[in-house]
Amino acid sequence: MKVIICGAGQVGYGIAERLSQEDNDVSVIDTSASLVNAITETLDVRGYVGHGAHPDILAKAGAEQADMIIAVTLYDEVNIVACEVAQALFSVPTKIARIRAQSYLAPEYSDLFSRQNMSIDVTISPEIEVGKMVLRRISFPGATDIVRFAEDTIAMLAIECMEDCPVLNTPLQQLSQLFPDLMATVVGIYRNGRLAVSRSADQLEAGDLAYVICQRDHVRRTLGLFGHEEQEARRIIIAGGGNIGHYVARTIEQLQPRTRLKIIETDRERAAAISEQLRNAVVLHGSALDQNILQQADVQDADLFVSLTNSDQINILGAVMAKSLGCKSNLVLINSSSLNKVTQSLGIDAQINPRAVTISRVLQHVRKGRIRSVYAVQQGSAEVIEAEALETSPLVGKPFRELDLPDGIRIGAIYRGGTVIRPSGDTKIKAHDRVVLFSTAAAVKNVEQMFRVSIQYF
C-alpha cells in the first residue's frame, strides 16, 4: 500500500514508523526540514519538505498512485484542505484527517464531515481518543489498559498479576471450568519482556500482564477474579487544562457529578476560560511542579493525580511529587516511548501513550478484509482486532475444536445479534458474526486473509 502522511511530528512519526515496518510504501511531508531529515534518517520512508496541502508537493510525494493520505499536521485547516486536494486532483481512495478543534467536532455540526460535504473518509481527534482512554482507566482502576469493541459490549483488559492474584499457577482451561458463567478469556500474556498468545495449558505467574477479552458487564468481576478490587477515585486532580484535560473534566462532571475535581493549569487565560466552562471543578492557576499549588489542591487527600500536560517531564515529575505528598495513585500521559520503561521504578502507577491510541485508529483503515476495529498493544507487538466473518471465511461453520488457526491467534469472544458468546470447543462461527481476537504482529496477515472476501464467492 502506498501511503502519504502530512505531518512529521509525534503523531505522524508514530504512524510512519508502524506502516513502514509493515512494508508499506510511505512518503512523509512536512514544512520543517529538520523533522523531515529526522524521519528519513531513522525510518524507511521518503521525505518531502513543503506544505502538505499544496498540489505540487502532493504530486512529488506520489499522490497519483497513493492508496491513502493521512493528514496529521498541527493545523486542522491544513489537514482538511490536504484531503480535499488529494480527492479533487488525484482521486486518492482513502483520506484521513486529524481534527483538534472541538468546535469542528461539536454534535450540532456532525454533518460537516459527511461525504457529501467534504472529501474526508475518516476524522481522528487524538485528544478525544486519549480523553476517552483516560476516562476508562479512571472508571476501572484495576486495569492497566482497557478498550471496547462490538458496540461497547466487549472489552479488552490488560491486568497486572500481583503476588496475591488468586488465579496464579492455575491452567487457563481450568478457569473456564471454575467460573463457567464468567464471559472472559485470557488471550495473551506479557512476561519478562515477551508477549505471547496464551494456550489452554498456560499458567499465570506473578508479574505477568494478562490480556483478557470479556463481556463488558463482566469487567469488574473479571478484575476481582485477578485480585483487583481498587475503588473508583472520588477526589481527582488533573494537571493540564488543554483539550484532553478539559474533555476529561467536562465528561466527569456530566457522568460522575459527585466526584470532587480540581485542575491545575499554567496559562492564566486558559485557566480562566475553562473555569467558566466547567460547573463545579476548581481551577488553579500555577505549575503542577509547585508544591504550594499541589497543597492548595489538597493533594494529600486526593485519590488520583492525572497528568495531562504537553510535557512528559512535567507529567512524570508532577505525578511523583503528588504521590510523595500523599496522593493515593497517579495516571500519566507519556508521548515518548523511551520513557515508558523507567516510569514504574519512579512510582508511576499507570500511563497512557497517545501515539498508540492514534496509531490504532489508523490501522483500522489500513487493514484488509472486514476489519471493524484495531487496537495495538506493547508498541505494536500484537493487536486486538474486531472483524466480521463473511460466508466465505474459513472460520464459518466449523466447531472451534476443528479450526486450524494459524500460530499467534487466539479468539476471545463472538458478538452475534446483540449477544456476546465466549468460545468453547463446540462453538461455531456464523456468517456476519463479529469476532474479537488477539493476534501477534507476525500473524496479522493471516487474520486479514481469514476475513477477506474470497474471489470464488463471486
Q: How confident is the prediction for the chain on average, in pLDDT? A: 91
* Beta partners for residue 95, in sequence order: 69
pLDDT tier, 330 (very low <50, low <70, confident <90, very high otherwise)? very high
Residue 301 has a CB neighbour count (10 Å cut-off) of: 12
Q: What is the pLDDT of residues 397-430, one digit of tens each?
A: 999 999 888 999 999 999 999 999 999 889 999 9
Region 430-440 average pLDDT: 95
Region 246-251 average pLDDT: 94
The pLDDT, as a whole number, for residue 344 is 65
C-alpha cell at 140: 476501572
SS3 content of the chain, % helix, strand, coil (to 5): 35, 25, 40
The pLDDT, as a whole number, for residue 456 is 38
Residue 407 has a CB neighbour count (10 Å cut-off) of: 9
Looking at per-residue pLDDT, the higher value among 21 and 292 belongs to 292
Region 29-40 average pLDDT: 96
Region 357-382 average pLDDT: 86
C-alpha cell at 259: 466526584
Region 378-397 average pLDDT: 91
Q: Is 458's pLDDT higher than 50?
A: no
The pLDDT, as a whole number, for residue 282 is 96
User: Coil, helix or strand for 245?
Assistant: helix
Q: Is 203's pLDDT higher than 50?
A: yes
Identify the burial level of 317 via C-beta atoms within 10 angstroms of its C-beta, where 0-12 means exposed, 13-18 middle and 19 or more buried. middle
The pLDDT, as a whole number, for residue 357 is 81
Q: Is 213's pLDDT higher than 50?
A: yes
Q: Is 336's pLDDT higher than 80?
A: no
pLDDT tier, 205 (very low <50, low <70, confident <90, very high otherwise)? very high
Inter-residue long-range contacts of 415-418, CB under 8 Å, 24+ positions, other chains counted:
415/149, 415/150, 415/151, 415/153, 415/154, 415/386, 418/151, 418/153
Looking at per-residue pLDDT, the higher value among 367 and 140 belongs to 140
pLDDT tier, 311 (very low <50, low <70, confident <90, very high otherwise)? very high
Residue 223 has a CB neighbour count (10 Å cut-off) of: 22
d(CA 194, CA 338): 17
Q: Is 133's pLDDT higher than 60?
A: yes
Residue 262 has, within 13 A of its CA and on its CB side, a CA count of 20
The pLDDT, as a whole number, for residue 259 is 94
Least confident of 69-73, 346-350, 423-427: 346-350
Q: Is 196's pLDDT higher than 70?
A: yes
Region 106-118 average pLDDT: 82
pLDDT tier, 32 (very low <50, low <70, confident <90, very high otherwise)? very high
The pLDDT, as a whole number, for residue 457 is 36
* CB contact at 8 A, 239 and 315: yes
Region 61-71 average pLDDT: 96
The pLDDT, as a whole number, for residue 101 is 83
The pLDDT, as a whole number, for residue 455 is 42
Angle at 410 between CA 183 and CA 176, to 5 degrees: 35
The pLDDT, as a whole number, for residue 454 is 53
Angle at 86 between CA 5 and CA 375, to 5 degrees: 40
Q: Is 113's pLDDT higher than 50?
A: yes
Query: Would you state the torsion angle of the CA atoms of residues 327, 332, 338, 344, taken in this order, to the nearest 10 degrees?
Result: 30
Cα R_g (the chain), whole angstroms: 23
Region 76-104 average pLDDT: 93
Q: What is the pLDDT of residues 142-192, one digit of tens each?
A: 898 999 999 999 999 999 999 999 999 999 989 888 898 999 999 999 999
Phi, psi of 273 (to 5 degrees): -65, -45
- The pTM for the full model equals 0.86
pLDDT tier, 453 (very low <50, low <70, confident <90, very high otherwise)? low
Q: Is 221's pLDDT higher than 80?
A: yes
**Domains assigned to the chain:** 2-124 (3.40.50.720), 142-215+367-457 (3.30.70.1450), 235-355 (3.40.50.720)
Angle at 315 between CA 237 and CA 340, to 5 degrees: 125
